[in-house]
A and B are shown apart, each in its own frame.
Chain A
Amino acid sequence: MKIKAIAMNTFREAIRDRVLYLLFFFTVVALLFSRLLAMLTVGDRVKIIKDVGLASISLFGMLMAILIGTGLVYKEIDKKTVFTLISKPIHRWQFLLGKFFGLVLTLFIMIVLMSLIFIIIVFLHTSKIEGRLLLAVLFIFIELILITAVAILFSCFSTPILSSLFSVSFYLIGHFSWGLETLLRKTKPGPTKVLLQGIYVLLPDLENFNFKTEAVYGLAVQSKFYFYSALYGLVYTLFILVLAVLIFKKRDFV
């Protein structure tokens, strides 16, 4: 109940945030812009609309998660409102999870709204609703849950600007881990390879949530890949959240 109360409060706080509306506005503009871009291409216009649409949802969703997530805990500490909360019979982990679920709820509603606009635009061109696109959006949302957890983790011990930078780096590293895999393939067996292997498995592989190409081209994906990807995202999120709780528990607010 306590987590729910904090989550609802965080949700209310987040939807009052101007950044959220600004980003939502830009997403809508980008989604509409995809129609204009499609007019400039030769060939499959719907492909461009799908590509730009999914990329906009993913990119602006990531910005929402990072820009709001990194400020959530920091703001409470900076404005000293955390003292009021901590003095109440609330555990620190409950406070943190409340913040996390509040932002996840906000993102969920934003994703639903963005997807609705996207699906309508695609529907106007193809006259059908494609389940694959919805599945791709679902995995974008799972990725955003993880990014939110990361943003909150950094927010526990750093300023919003630094936390945003760290979170964006996490996002970029996560999407470029294939580069490490390529390097790994070309490295001769030895201590360097072992080290690289360690870094490779430890770093997040956000490409596991990227089904945009498959959705656009209609490529088959094994159902167990979807299952393990979702599980990977949730377990990684749990790891990050536990780490955040451990850090937040040790944090001295004075």
Chain B
Amino acid sequence: MKTIPRSAKGSAALSLILLLCLAAAGFLSLKGTLDKIPRKKIPGASVIYIPSGKYLKYVTFGYPSLVADLVFIWAIQYYSTYTIVDRFAYLEHIFSIIAELDPRYQDPYEIGALIAFSEAKDPKLAYKIMDLALEKNPDQWVFPFEAGHYAQMVRDYETARNYYQKAIKIPGSPDIVKRLYAAVGFKAMDLQTSWETWLEIYNTSTDPRTKKIASKHLYQVKSTSDIIVLREAIRRFRDQYGHNPEDLAELVPMGYLASLPQDLDGKDYIYDSKTGEVKAPTIWWKR
């Protein structure tokens, strides 16, 4: 039988190793070349084809939390890619997928709402995500609290008030929620509710700092309310006599006021008869 000489076997192996090295060098350099060629892509085109979380849950084979983690990590990368111009179009879809897969996972709701508010400049979408979060986690005060905060930032005080009210009702919500509720009530010019809430905070709080804050706000609400009444009385006086009253006390005997209001410290309001302007004797936050 013919046998292959040892030297021939050795050279064949050497040739193969050489070919292996050449092929490796070849694909490595080709990979570099390919990476340099720009490839047109539709960024995020596949996103809309991700089914809703409800259906996706069935194909996670018992690992919905893990899939939620992966979708969340992917979403973070996706939303930090600023070249995807229309990336916000699928924000609700993506974060609702995570919500369906892992409804108790809090970070995606908060990050999703933050992206909607700060990046997409769409507060309504941020509220929507927070609403979804609250729906899935009715025991978490933080979601309506954050939604209220977003509404407050865009000066939508009515919406903010509604969210803070929801947060207050959830057990475990901190005192600051009630304070914000009262403060936003003042901004929305619901002085009665604001007064009642600050008064409740003042009466129930054991913390001297909170008491002091409540006291300052009570002063602000009362003085604002009094100034509105005084301005209205001055306006009616001016309409009838064609000039401002010389003194605020003049308004009481003339029947424009039942009594002359004073601020919380028992001081009279400052009145300028030339301009008809009324001011509180103390700046509320310096009190």
Q: Which residues of A contact B (CB under 8 A)?
A: 51, 182, 201-202, 205, 208, 213-214, 217, 219-222, 224-225, 228-229, 231-232, 235-236, 238-239, 242-243, 245-246, 249
Within the complex, what minimum Cβ distance (angstroms) separates B25 from chain A? 9
Q: A231-B30, A239-B26, A242-B23 are in contact. List 5 more A-B contacts (CB 8 A).
A: A217-B42, A217-B45, A219-B41, A222-B38, A238-B23
Within the complex, what minimum Cβ distance (angstroms) separates B131 from chain A? 26
Give 9 nearest A-B pairs by CB, closest first.
Answer: A239-B23, A235-B26, A232-B30, A242-B20, A238-B23, A236-B27, A235-B27, A225-B37, A219-B40
A78–B152 CA distance with the chains assembled, in angstroms: 74
Q: Which of B23, B37, B46 contacts A228 (CB 8 A)?
A: B37
Within the complex, what minimum Cβ distance (angstroms) separates B195 from chain A? 52
Complex interface bits, B7-40 against A, C-beta within 8 A gives 1, otherwise 0: 0000001001101100110111011111001111
A201–B42 CA distance with the chains assembled, in angstroms: 24
Q: Which residues of A contact B275 (CB under 8 A)?
A: none
A232–B40 CA distance with the chains assembled, in angstroms: 19
Q: Which of B13, B26, B32, B45 contacts A201 (CB 8 A)?
A: B32
Q: Which residues of A contact B13 (CB under 8 A)?
A: 246, 249
Within the complex, what minimum Cβ distance (angstroms) separates A205 from chain B? 6
Known: A242-B23, A246-B17. Is A201-B34 also a contact (CB below 8 A)? no
A51–B45 CA distance with the chains assembled, in angstroms: 12
Q: Which residues of A contact B17 (CB under 8 A)?
A: 246
The answer to whether A221 and B39 have CB atoms under 8 Å apart is yes
Q: Which residues of B contact A201 (CB under 8 A)?
A: 28, 31-32
The answer to whether B16 and A246 have CB atoms under 8 Å apart is yes
The answer to whether A232 and B27 have CB atoms under 8 Å apart is yes
Question: Does B77 touch A at the CB level, under 8 Å?
Answer: yes
A51–B48 CA distance with the chains assembled, in angstroms: 13
The answer to whether A246 and B20 have CB atoms under 8 Å apart is yes
The answer to whether B40 and A221 have CB atoms under 8 Å apart is yes
The answer to whether A222 and B27 have CB atoms under 8 Å apart is no
Within the complex, what minimum Cβ distance (angstroms) separates A238 from chain B? 5
Q: Which residues of B contact A208 (CB under 8 A)?
A: 34
A245–B12 CA distance with the chains assembled, in angstroms: 11
Q: Which of A182, A205, A243 contacts B77 (CB 8 A)?
A: A182
Chain A residue with minimal CB distance to B45?
A: A213
Q: Which of B20, B41, B49 contacts A239 (CB 8 A)?
A: B20
The answer to whether B27 and A228 have CB atoms under 8 Å apart is no
